[in-house]
Amino acid sequence: MNSIIFRTVSRLLMGLMLLFSLFLLWRGHNEPGGGFIGGLVAAAGLVVYGLADGPKSMRLILRADPGAIALTGLLIAVIAGLMPVVGGSDFLTGLWLFIGATPTDKGLALGTPLLFDIGVYLAVVGGVVGMVIAIEESL
Amino acid sequence: MNGLLVACLLTPMMTAILAFLWPGGRVIKGAVSVCGTVLLSVFAALLLRQVWTDGPVSAQMGGWEAPMGITLVADHLSAMLVMVTAIVGLAVSFFALTDIDEARAKGGFDTFFQILLTGIVGAFLTGDLFNLYVWFEVMLISSFALIVLGGDKVQLDGAVKYVAINLVSTVLLLTAIGLVYGMAGTLNMADLNGSLAELPDQSLVTVVSVLFLIAFGIKAAVFPLYFWLPASYHTLPISIAAVFAALMTKVGVYALIRTFTLIFTPESDMIATVVLVVALLTMLTGILGAISHTNIRRILSYHVIGSIGFMLLGLGLGSPLAMAASIFYMMQGILVKALLFMIVGVIEKRGNSSELSELGGLYRSHPGFSILYLLAALALIGIPPLSGFWAKLMVLEAGIEHQAWWVIALVLLASLLTFIPLMRIWFEAFWKAAPRSDDAPVKEPELSNAASGSAARSESMQLAPVVALSAVLLLIGLAPASLISLTDQAAAGVLNVDAYLQVVLGSGAAPIEEMKP
């Protein structure tokens, strides 16, 4: 699609959608959101850019093969699930690290569920973008 | 000890990741795939041994107790199916080393194949309805990818039919699961046991059970929902067709058996009668379809459908003996189907065709390989002492026990008819003289030494899994006692679910009951 308006707007939109996807990913543990929906929003942002500029530039800004992104994400998710197994808990049990916790406040909570969600995020981004690129390139 | 359940699931998943991310060509990725399936077979064997000695095992994901979290559970039936999946996966991944070309390997054949295995194993091991749906989706997405890999035009034609019908089935399944959750407030299969029967509105329960029947029926390719199967299987590379034919439809059968023994207890005979009639019709139409075709792949595709009918008879009749017969049939059917499809792959390579009229003379040129075909075909037909004989004997015994003479008559008729297409393949492809001897066979001597050496190597590599599976089948046929005792236990476990409930919900099943809305 060769429209200068769409191409200009698509860059702005992509930036906003990527930021919003990170926000969704971060809040996902206790509020609506998470890796899957965050990944879909990020993929939608990248696809908008790809529609405007073509699949070639989409590959360029991704810097890695979408399939590799997806499977790295899966690997991260599996590792997040296996970390508690090393400590003797069940597969996928949440392990938490509370940074700067006070008696009233949990502080910054980092845990394996977040790592799992990051893995899901990457798997969804890689999977969806990979499919869209494959379709666009065969058109 | 629940690590084995997770290990069975994670092994193919990790193999998929490794096969994709490991740099290298066809050989490296294929080797990763073979190693993964070897490891899966080891874990599956350990799991089967544990279930055999100690009864069902379960694992709670994330430490969340049963109806709240997702449970993985293996009873005898699940453990046996995981074992046979691992065996077929190993054979096919080995066969694929020489069958799948560089382009398809680059497109991710080994990765998608392993993800498919993950989905199949997951579906056999999960104890949660929604999780079952997710594993079906995993299977579906990877199978879509496998079907279109390579992207021939015929292949896409088959893929569209496959995708369309499976999406319908998926939507029905998701709808049914949503309705179950709305009615019962839980999706844990053990927790659902008996809770649907207590609901006031039984008509909705019946509707939902029929939805499950149709959704899983499409996956299992039963009459009249089987038309997608022969339409898509004949276009695939043979390794993919082998694993689809051997395993994919059986996941549907397994899901039917599981839901209609655990969740919907057959209070009314209506569903059981429907399943019985559908099973008999599937059996007959599958065999008749096989008789009416002249393409080897299509003949075998229809055979897959016919055998699904035999596997559902147990659910239709509902007695332990009938269920054991079905499970035995399923075990040996999976192995025979994988074997026959791989043999077809070799036939196609030798004869450059899968049309019977264009084949011939294979017995003269490859006698050893022909004997293997005959063995597999006779096992499928059920000639004693091969594995199919025991399966059919058990089905007939169950029919006699029920005094269901018309069932026995139809089973015998179908078995007799099975003979025709398989023997036609034998006479046309192996026995009769090669059609025009000026064609493909003459080319062979012209090959240079190096080329013929590599061809011979790939030939022997393809024969290795065929020989190994034949040996397993022969072993089952000659010494069926341990498999029969295992299937008896599996059938008892499927029909009397107390042990299953105990291992999933623990001894505190009663207090959990009170927590439900």
pLDDT at B509: 42
Asked whether the predicted pLDDT for residue B264 surpasses 90, the reply is no
Structural domain total, chain A: 1
Identify the band that residue B266 occupies on the pLDDT scale cut at 50, 70 and 90. low
DSSP B433: P
- Residue-number span of the structural domain to which A40 is assigned: 4-138
The model's pLDDT over B71-127, given as tens digits with 9 standing for 90+, comes to 999 999 999 999 999 999 999 999 998 888 887 888 889 999 999 999 999 999 999
> Which residue shows structure tokens 């004989």?
B389
Identify the band that residue B247 occupies on the pLDDT scale cut at 50, 70 and 90. very high
DSSP A109: E
What percent of chain B is modeled with pLDDT above 70? 93
pLDDT at B149: 80
pLDDT at B514: 41
pLDDT at B443: 43
The model's pLDDT over B401-424, given as tens digits with 9 standing for 90+, comes to 888 888 899 999 998 898 899 888
Q: Are A116 and A35 in contact (CB under 8 A)?
A: yes
The model's pLDDT over A125-137, given as tens digits with 9 standing for 90+, comes to 999 999 888 888 8
The model's pLDDT over B222-232, given as tens digits with 9 standing for 90+, comes to 888 888 888 78
pLDDT at A95: 84
Identify the band that residue B453 occupies on the pLDDT scale cut at 50, 70 and 90. low
Question: Closest-CA residue in chain A for B59?
Answer: A90
Report ipTM for this prediction. 0.88
Task: Indicate yes or no: CB of B60 within 8 angstroms of CB of A72.
Answer: no
Residue B223 CA to residue B283 CA, distance in Å, equals 8
Residue B46 CA to residue A19 CA, distance in Å, equals 47
To the nearest whole angstrom, how far is the Cα of B107 from the nearest Cα of chain A?
10
Q: Are B111 and A71 in contact (CB under 8 A)?
A: yes
Going by C-alpha positions, the residue among B435, B465, B395, B411 that lies closest to residue B98 is B465
Task: Indicate yes or no: CB of A91 within 8 angstroms of CB of B13.
Answer: no
Identify the band that residue A87 occupies on the pLDDT scale cut at 50, 70 and 90. confident
Instruction: Select from A75, A78, A93 the Cβ nearest to the Cβ of B63.
Output: A93
In chain A, residues 75-114 whose CB comes closer than 8 Å to chain B:
75, 78, 82, 85, 89-94
B504 or B445, which is more confident: B504
Residue B235 CA to residue B245 CA, distance in Å, equals 13
Most confident of B361-365, B418-422, B452-456: B418-422
Q: Are B193 and B147 in contact (CB under 8 A)?
A: no
First to last CA, chain B: 32
pTM of the model: 0.91
Identify the band that residue B157 occupies on the pLDDT scale cut at 50, 70 and 90. confident
In chain A, residues 45-74 whose CB comes closer than 8 Å to chain B:
67-68, 71-72, 74
Q: Give the range among B203-212, B343-352, B403-412, B433-442 with minimum mean pLDDT.
A: B433-442
The model's pLDDT over B287-311, given as tens digits with 9 standing for 90+, comes to 999 999 888 888 999 999 999 999 9
